[in-house]
Amino acid sequence: MELGFWKKLNPKRTGKPIMATAPMSGVTDRAFRMMFLKYAKPSVFWTEFVSAEGLFSRGREYCLRILEKSKNERPIVAQLFGSNPADFERAAKLVKELGFDGVDINMGCPDRAIERQGAGAILINNPDLAVEIIRATKRGVGKIPVSVKTRLGYDKIQTKEWIGKILSEKPALITIHLRTKKELYFAKLHWQEAKEIVKLRNKISPKTLLLGNGDIKSFVEAKRLAKESGFDGVMVGRALVGNPWFFSDREPDIKIRLMAILEHAKIYKKFGGVHYETLKKHFHAYAKNFVGARELRDELMASHSFEELDSIVKNALMVYSKRINN
């Protein structure tokens, strides 16, 4: 088992739980990660997921853009999805050459388009193929640690059968979204399964680290769940959108929030981003928890250019300044 940087992050060594950013397609791009690098760095970054097959197809250029990173984003893990072990071996080798600190295999995405490719959560129903993929990825990366992100099961909880199978391959880390594929993102999370997972880990692969994932809403909750579950840390997803201060456990004032909107857009544009509309999910999340936020969100959602954005936010800053001076 290659632990790589994970060895340094082990809570038994640091005394602190691991705090990771979840790989979210269309969200956790380079600009998003740079905002966290400035305001509140997590223990480890994850990229958006990228197709192992796509890295060697006509879509190669697009896939490589997803894997662009800055030298200060360390440690950083590249996440791959797919269904062909040979693709994973080649892709893992490329990821190593690109200078990533780790490779993660997506075995939990419930998206139908991904499942139709035999990838993501559907691999829960094909554990033998999942094992082949893990082994192929390890061959490709050599001494870089390999991890897996998955769910508790497909139609039902399959902790012993599924998580146990993955543990038998001794990955450096497993991240478990504490729902089944069938439950998607809406059912109650099964944090009670954490104790059973920890027991399995201790029995099968004691050095493998464990992260819990799913609907973690605050830094305080993240720390509590890590402690209560017995996991080595947590992976946070949707709560990070519009909140690069998450891992600092502080609430920024309105001025900082407004300036962050412009800053995020500036970084996105600097790194070659041209699809303005894709930024709106971030704008919507930044504009919350203050007087006038709803009206500002409406304006931001109706905007169509960086120039309009600049005007809207600067006007909001003037209104805010007048309000606090009166």
Catalytic residues: 109
Two structure tokens written together for 238: 């949707």
Report how far residue 76's alpha carbon sits from residue 99's, in angstroms, rounded to the nearest whole number.
Answer: 9
User: Pick from 222, 223, 226: which is nearest to 240 by CA?
Assistant: 222
Is the link from the previous residue into 75 a cis peptide, with omega within 30 of 0? yes
**Phi, psi for residue 99 in degrees, rounded to 5:** 90, 20
Q: How many CB atoms are closer than 10 A to CB 292?
A: 13
Report how far residue 230's alpha carbon sits from residue 209's, in angstroms, rounded to the nearest whole number.
Answer: 11
Q: What is the largest CA-CA distance in the chain?
A: 67
Instruction: List residues bridging with 44 in a β-sheet.
Output: 20
- 99 with 141: CB under 8 angstroms? no
Report how far residue 91's alpha carbon sits from residue 226's, in angstroms, rounded to the nearest whole number.
Answer: 32
Report how far residue 250's alpha carbon sits from residue 301's, in angstroms, rounded to the nearest whole number.
Answer: 26
- 212 with 191: CB under 8 angstroms? yes
User: At 308, which helix (H) or strand (E)?
Assistant: helix 306-325
**Residue matched to tokens 């640690």:** 145
Q: Which residues of 212-230 are buried (b: 16+ CB within 10 A; e: fewer)?
A: bbbbbeebeebbebbeebe
